[in-house]
A = this chain, B = another copy of it.
Amino acid sequence: MARVVVEVMPKAEILDPQGQAIAGALSRLGFAGVTDVRQGKRFELEVDGSVDDAQLEKIAEALLANTVIEDWAIRRIDGEA
């Protein structure tokens, strides 16, 4: 049993209104020094040994990310995290 993390973020050229709202709120709340915020998603999957990297890529592309507007990355965490 392994843990896999899939990180999904809006592509750099895509506007991110959620992130912009957070950046605006930070400055209104008095937190200076944060110049940009982008918000994405993070999925933790528990997979068994039958799931290989090719299948993980299919899962990320088909279900977890909207590849038109989002980039995604897969990281395996093999420790007992």
Residues of A within 8 A of B (CB): 1, 7-9, 19, 22, 25-26, 29, 31-51, 55, 58-59, 62-64
Contacts and interface: CB of A to CB of B under 8 A. Distances in A.
B47 A34 contact: yes
Given A41-B39, A64-B22, A46 B34 contact: yes
Copies in the complex: 2
A9 B50 contact: no
A34 B51 contact: yes
A41 B40 CA distance: 6
A59 to B, nearest CB: 6
B41 A22 contact: no
A41 B7 CA distance: 9
